Structure 1
Amino acid sequence: MSPRFEEIDWRETPMGAISLRRRRDPALDIDVYEIKLNDEYLMSSLFTVAEIELARLGLAALRGTDLDVVVGGLGLGYTAAAVLEDPRVRTLTVVEALGEVIDWHRRELLPLASRLTLDPRSHLVQGDFFAMVNDADGFDPRTPGRRFHAILVDIDHTPRHVLHPSHAAFYTTDGLRRLAAHLHPEGVFALWSDDPPDEELDATLAEVFDSAQSHLVRFRNHLHGGEAANTVYVASRRP
């Protein structure tokens, strides 16, 4: 049996102190992996339903095969791994600001790490996703200016509770228009949020995309009992 608690890694980064922890949950009899940035929990393997739904709902809005996908935010890897489960996906580019998080996956310190690092379709890129949105070169340093069929983002807690003030401009009409420029004409943008559906963001998405829908994703809260919910926004363009 594994120990009840282990701090697997702790490092100082430009965004603050980041740590990867593993603890044993005796009630569920499972190991729980958690990422903290300073005193904030960024992600827990207890709550991954909405992260997986981000991939499923985003890709469900696409037709065709040979899909090229970007995931903004690596975290514990659940969204990226769910993307790779879709056989239509040709390539996956995962953009992560913190090299420490990419290193955890390459060292296989996380349960899903090998799914991402060993799949030839997958490419992990260290970079500032939001800066890349504003750069015509885009998300793949190997192919500047490359466009994608889907861009799926799980970085900030919500569009109003961002990890850094510079991220806020992304959630405006101008910011989302810059993102849309990196999509194919029929491309899809999907976004995870910890808050209920936001009418203002729905309206902003409708200004930029031809269709937009917010999905309330419900799941069991193992810590407090009962039910919890996140939101996944899916917006698409028409050819």
Structure 2
Amino acid sequence: MSPRFEELAWRATPLGEISLRRRRDPSLGVEVYEVKLDDEYLMSSLFPVAEIELARLGLAALPDPRLEVVVGGLGLGYTARTALDDDRVSELLVVETVEDVIDWHRRGLLPFAAGLAEDPRTRFVHADFFASVAGDAGLDPDTPGRRFHAVLLDVDHSPRHVLHPGHAPFYTADGLRRLARLLHPGGVFALWSDDPPDADFTQTLAGVFATARAHVVPFANPLTGGDSANTVYVATT
């Protein structure tokens, strides 16, 4: 039997102290994996629905038979793992700023993301997603300026609640235009948010992209016994 609580990994990073924890929830009878940044919870395996829908909703908006996809922010791996379930995905570039998070997956610490690191379509890039978009080289360090069919982003809590002040310029019209130049015509930018739909941000998206929509993703919350919801924004060039 696994211990009731175990800290699987810990590291000081430029964003703060990040840790991966596993605990046994006796009331639910399940093992829960959680990521914390300092004292703040970033993600939990109890609530993966919206991270999964980020990939499903984003890729569903694409008609292409072959897709080259970027996931910004690896975390527990739900978005990346779900993207690989789409047979059209020929390459998945995962851009993650914390090298230790990549190592969690390579070491197999997250059983529900099994196969992600071993899939030949997956390539991990240790880089700051936001700095890469703002720079001249783009998201693929091996191919400067490369374009993709989809970029799926899950790093900040929301466009207004960012983990680092340096991320904020990305969510402006200028920042989103820089992202749009890295997408093929008809390409998709999809974004996870912990906040309800933000009309001002949706309007900013609509000013840069051809289409923009905020999807409310409800899910059962086993901690409250009720329902909660996240938002997934989907925009197309």
Instruction: Supply the distance in 1 between the matched residues of 2:204 and 2:169 (Cα, whole angstroms).
Output: 12
Query: What is the DSSP-based 3-state SS (H/G/I as helix, E as strand, rest coil) of the residue aligned with 1:116?
Result: coil
Contact 1:158 1:193 in 2 (8 A): yes
SS at structure 2 position matched to 1:42: strand
Q: Secondary structure at the match of 2:115?
A: helix
TM-score by length of 2: 0.98
How far 1:136 sits from its partner (Å)? 2.5
Q: Please say if residues 95 and 127 of structure 1, whose CA atoms lie closer than 8 Å, have aligned partners that are also in contact.
A: yes
- Deviations along 1:168-219, one digit per CA (max 9) or x if unpaired, are 1011000000000000011000000000000001100000011111000000
Which segments of structure 1 move beyond 6 Å, counting only runs of 4 or more?
none
Question: RMSD of aligned C-alpha atoms?
Answer: 0.9
Greater shift, 141-150 or 195-204, is seen at: 141-150
The offset of 1:113, in angstroms, is 4.2
Q: What's the offset of the Cα at 1:73?
A: 0.3
Contact kept, 8 Å, 1:153 with 1:191, in 2: the verdict is yes
Residue in structure 1 matched with residue 61 of structure 2 by the alignment: 61
What is the CA–CA distance in structure 1 between the aligned matches of 2:181 and 2:8, rounded to whole Å?
Answer: 39
Alignment correspondent of 1:22: 22
Match of 1:195 in 2: 195
Letter in 1 for 2:10: W
Please give the alpha-carbon distance, in whole angstroms, between the structure 1 residues aligned to 2:186 and 2:3. Answer: 49
Tell me which residue corresponds to 2:133. 133
Q: Is the 8 A contact 1:151 1:190 kept in 2?
A: yes
SS at match of 1:215: strand
Partner of 2:111, secondary structure, is coil
Specify the alignment match of 1:216 in structure 2: 216
Cα distance in 2 for partners of 1:111, 1:65 equals: 30
Whole-Å separation in 2 of the counterparts to 1:113 and 1:103:
13
Equivalent in the alignment of 1:115: 115
User: Residue 114 of structure 2 aligns to a residue in which SS?
Assistant: helix
For 1:28 and 1:140, the matched residues in 2 are separated by: 41
**Is contact 2:78-2:113 (8 Å) kept?**
no
CA contact (8 A) 1:58 1:234 kept: yes
What is aligned with 1:33?
33
**1:100, 1:6 → 2: CA distance?**
17
In structure 2, the partner of 1:161 is 161
Letter in 2 for 1:207: G
8 A Cα contact 1:106 1:113, kept in partner? no
Matched, 1:79 2:75: no
Spell out, residue by residue over 1:214-238, the C-alpha distance to the aligned partner (whole angstroms, 9 max, x if none): 000000111122000000000002x
What residue number does 1:147 align with?
147
Q: Distance in 2 between matches of 1:235 and 1:14?
A: 30
* TM-score normalized by the length of structure 1: 0.97
Determine helix, strand or coil for the equivalent of 2:232: strand
Q: Secondary structure in 2 aligned to 1:218?
A: strand
Aligned partner letter, 1:12: A
Structure 1 residues 76-122: Cα deviation after superposition (integer angstroms, max 9, x where no partner) = 00000000000000100000000111111111111144321110000
Question: What code does the residue aligned with 1:101 have?
Answer: V
SS in 1 for 2:116: helix
Alignment match, 1:8 = 8
Amino acid at match of 1:9: A
Q: Could you say which residue in structure 2 is the equivalent of 1:44?
A: 44
Structure 1 distance, partners of 2:136, 2:92, is 19
Q: Within 2, Cα distance between the matches of 1:191 and 1:52?
A: 12
- Number of matched pairs: 237
Structure 2: where are the runs of 5+ without partners?
none
State the alpha-carbon separation in 2 of the partners of residues 230 and 83 from structure 1.
19
Partner of 1:234: 234
Percentage identity across aligned positions?
Answer: 68
